[in-house]
Each structure stands twice: as C-alpha cells, then as structure tokens.
Amino acid sequence: MTRIARRSTDKEHMAVPWFGIMWIGLTLALSVTYCWSARRQLGVYSPVIPVEVESPVLRAYLKSEEAAAKPPLFDSSFAEYLKKGLSYHIDAYDGGKPHHYKDSSYPHRRANATLPLWFKKVFPLNKHMAPDKQTCFMHVGKAGGSTIGCMLGFLIHCGDDDKTNYQSVPSLLAATTAHSFHREVYDCSDTAANYLFVIRDPLARALSAFNYAKPDLSEKYPFSKKYKDKEIYVDCDFWTLNDLAERGLVKGNNGASDECKDRAKKALLGTENNLVHWFYNYQFYYESMPPDANIVVIRNEHIVDDWNEVETLLGGAADLTEESLPVNNQYEKKPEEVYLSDTAKVVLCKTLCNEIQVYKTILKRAQNIKKKQYIQSMQELMTSCPKEALEESCADDMPDISLKVEKAKGELIY
C-alpha cells in the first residue's frame, strides 16, 4: 500500500511541470494570434503566405475531396485514329487547299450570314465526331488565344496572313476542337463536351488589350474598323493605360473630364463598347456558355503544362514541348506602354475586381486545373492584384450583361 501511495504522489508531482508547459504554450499561441490579427488590420502582412489560409471560400475549395477521376473522352484506339488522320492532313496541307468547317451553327443564328474565314480550319473535321464529343474554343481576346488558335488549326493570325497556317499541332485537342467563339461570332454547339478557355492574368490582359487597340496616327487611315475605339485615345487623350488609370479612374480634379472618367470606368468594366477586348471580357465569355458546361483551361503563363493536361483528359499523350509553340499577334512595346505606377495598379485592380472573380471561377471549374495549379495561379495573381486575389466579393455589383450576351450570340433561327 505504501508503495502504491508513493507512486500516486510521484505522478501528482510530475503533472505540475506538464501543466505548466501546456499553459505556456497556450499563452504563446494566443499572443501570436493576436499579433498576427493586428498586423493584418494594419496591412503589414506578407503576400507570400500560403493563399489557401486567407479565404474561407478558397480554403473550402482546396480542402474539398478531389472529384472522381473521369475516364478519357476517347479510348486509345479511336484517339490514335484521330491523331494519325490529323497528322496526315497537316503534312499534306500546302496553304492553298479549301478551308474547312463542320456543322456551323452561325448561319442558324444570323440570317444570311457567312462564317468569317478565321473561324474555319486548315484541315477537315472527322465525320464521326459527334457534337457532344467536340470542344468549343472560347477565344478570349489578348489572353494568348491567337497562339492556341493556330495550334488548333484555326485561320487566325497564323503565318504571313490569314490564309495560311503551318502551325497546327497534331493532337486530340486540335482534332476535336471543331468550333470557336470570339467576340460577336458564336459558332459553338451548346452540347459541346468541353469549353476551352485560354486565360491570362486579368491586369496583364487589360494592358495588352489597351495597347492592341491604340490607333497609329502615322497610318493614312488611323481610325479604320480595327481602331474604332478612338473615344478613349483621341477624345480623352489617354495614350497609356497608366494615364487612363491615374487621370481617368482616380477621383479628383486630375485633368480628365467627368465624361472621360465615366467612359474609362465603363470601358474597363465591359459595360460600354469603347475598347473591343475590354468589352468582350471574361464575364462575357463565361456567361455565354451553358451554365453546366465542362470547362478546360490553358493558362497563358503555363501553356505547355495545361495543353498536355487537357490532351491527357481527352485520351491523348502529353508530348507538347516549349520548342513547338508558335508566337503570334505580338509586337515590340515601348517602355511607357507597359509601365504602371503603384497608384495605377491599385485603381485598375479595384475596377477589375469583378473580372478577377470571374477569372478565379473559371480556374476553379476547370477540369484540368488541380489544387496545386490553382494555388500557383493565385500566387501569381497576388503579384499584380493582391487584394482582389484574396477577396471573394467586390465593392461594385457584377454588371448585368444579359442583353450583351443575347445580342452577341444571336438566337437559333432554325
């Protein structure tokens, strides 16, 4: 009995230091939590922290179970058959053969309309390719879509002119992408198996779109059809995006009229057609497709990896390399054309907030984008628009663009 009692007493003495250690640990944890919260409120936290712990919505998304792996869209034998047939047509193509398209929906939406040349392909689509096995190419302007369009076999900014394309990549993705949607020309089936988005950091896309549409006053006809957006440049004297942001979006008397300030904001929001690729933005393409559509994505910053992921989903091989990538629709830019001050970045990101949320939604829904890749894109977004990368809502309501979508898509006539 004595021995048992002594043991009990020894355990009681041993419990004291353990309790003390636990108390100290809890105190330290609460102190760290309080300091971290205070630092966040003061805005002195670092954007390099793991983004998944910052947003409840993102945290739930990242902790959710992976979707059950789907079998490839095509079995290996049919996939090989498609790829071999496509390779034959690409090798045989000499730039002078007829341009092809399959079961275009565009004439059914626009009476007496003809599908533009750049929506056609340099090789015929396989006759066994049913609409519900096809991919619709959602060509978002100034996101790298011309490069991907050439790889898919579309006649857009490829080669010396729009009549040539020597840059098609023999692949299942090229073989199955039968139709495209760009600006006001919707040539896709609403039953398509996949909707392929080519996307890019929203701020980088906005900058590229602004520089692309800028009139060249040295040209004989600077305000031709391509440069119809002169209201932003000539009338308001916004010749750089930095200037538009600092004079057109920042509140106060800074040299821009109220009309030009209003014009700048509406153009960037995509609610007024003053700049074509701002008007046809991520929200426009996203809301134009069926709500339950399957999305696949190629990020401009990671073309090879994402192309190979999509190719694998279809049943093909991940064999695209950096060396095989074409470069299209680019020009040398002046330093002042790409410069953005800190003030300009903040106000541009704030105005683009809803567009950034749509960009994030597209990534979340993409069948080929895994958690690691999503986090990668969010960390990249943090370098351009850190506040909007973390937030899930915006000061401005999402614009209602239902009429714009309806007008652009057209209605099936028959």
pLDDT in tens, 121-157: 888 877 778 888 899 999 999 999 988 998 998 887 6
Tokens of 225: 């059809």
Q: Please, which residues bridge with residue 198 across strands?
A: 298
Query: What pLDDT score was predicted for residue 60?
Result: 53
| Residue whose token pair is 């041993």 | 14
Residues 283, 270: contact at Cβ < 8 Å? yes
- In this structure, what are the phi and psi dihedrals at residue 100, rounded to the nearest 5 degrees? -115, 155
Q: How confident is the model at residue 236 (pLDDT cuts 50, 70, 90)?
A: very high
Q: Which strand (E) or helix (H) includes residue 387?
A: helix 386-390
Give the whole-angstrom CA distance, residue 367 versus residue 378: 17
Query: What pLDDT score was predicted for residue 2?
Result: 38
Q: What Rg do the C-alpha atoms of the chain give, in angstroms? A: 27
Q: How confident is the model at residue 397 (pLDDT cuts 50, 70, 90)?
A: very high
Average pLDDT for 296-311: 97
DSSP state of 264: H
Q: How confident is the model at residue 8 (pLDDT cuts 50, 70, 90)?
A: very low
Query: What pLDDT score was predicted for residue 408?
Result: 86
Higher pLDDT, 218 or 26: 218
Q: Please, which residues bridge with residue 366 across strands?
A: 295
Note the pLDDT tens digit of each residue in 255-268.
899 999 999 999 99
Average pLDDT for 349-374: 97
The answer, yes or no, to whether residue 43 has pLDDT greater than 60, is: no
Query: What pLDDT score was predicted for residue 94?
Result: 59
Average pLDDT for 296-325: 93
Query: What pLDDT score was predicted for residue 23?
Result: 53
Note the pLDDT tens digit of each residue in 44-82.
333 333 444 345 555 555 545 444 457 787 877 777 777
Q: How confident is the model at residue 229 (pLDDT cuts 50, 70, 90)?
A: low
The answer, yes or no, to whether residue 87 has pLDDT greater than 60, is: yes
Q: If we measure between CA atoms, which residue out of 196, 188, 180, 278 comes closest to residue 232?
A: 278
The answer, yes or no, to whether residue 110 has pLDDT greater than 80, is: no
Average pLDDT for 16-30: 50
Query: What pLDDT score was predicted for residue 69?
Result: 59
Lowest mean pLDDT among 14-28, 182-196, 392-406: 14-28
Helix spans in 123-240 (H): 145-152, 172-176, 202-212, 230
DSSP letter string, 162-228? TT-------SHHHHHEEEEEETTEE---TT-SEEEEEE--HHHHHHHHHHHT---TTSSSTTSGGG-
Residues 6+ apart with CB under 8 A from 259: none
Higher pLDDT, 226 or 232: 232
Residues 344, 242: contact at Cβ < 8 Å? yes
Q: Please, which residues bridge with residue 194 across strands?
A: 135
Higher pLDDT, 385 or 98: 385
The answer, yes or no, to whether residue 181 has pLDDT greater than 70, is: yes
The answer, yes or no, to whether residue 198 has pLDDT greater than 80, is: yes
DSSP state of 115: -
Lowest mean pLDDT among 10-19, 97-106, 351-360, 394-403: 10-19
The answer, yes or no, to whether residue 118 has pLDDT greater than 90, is: no
The share of the chain scoring above pLDDT 70, in percent, equals 74
Give the whole-angstrom CA distance, residue 264 versus residue 281: 15
Tokens of 379: 């960390």
The identity of residue 341, as a single letter, is: S
DSSP state of 160: T
Average pLDDT of the residues of the chain: 80
Query: What pLDDT score was predicted for residue 385?
Result: 98
- What is the pTM assigned to this prediction? 0.80
Q: How confident is the model at residue 109 (pLDDT cuts 50, 70, 90)?
A: confident
Lowest mean pLDDT among 23-27, 233-237, 271-275, 296-300: 23-27
Sign for the pseudo-dihedral over CA of 186, 188, 189, 195: negative
Residues 137, 94: contact at Cβ < 8 Å? no
Query: What pLDDT score was predicted for residue 251?
Result: 87
| Residue whose token pair is 């004989």 | 220
Query: What pLDDT score was predicted for residue 57?
Result: 54
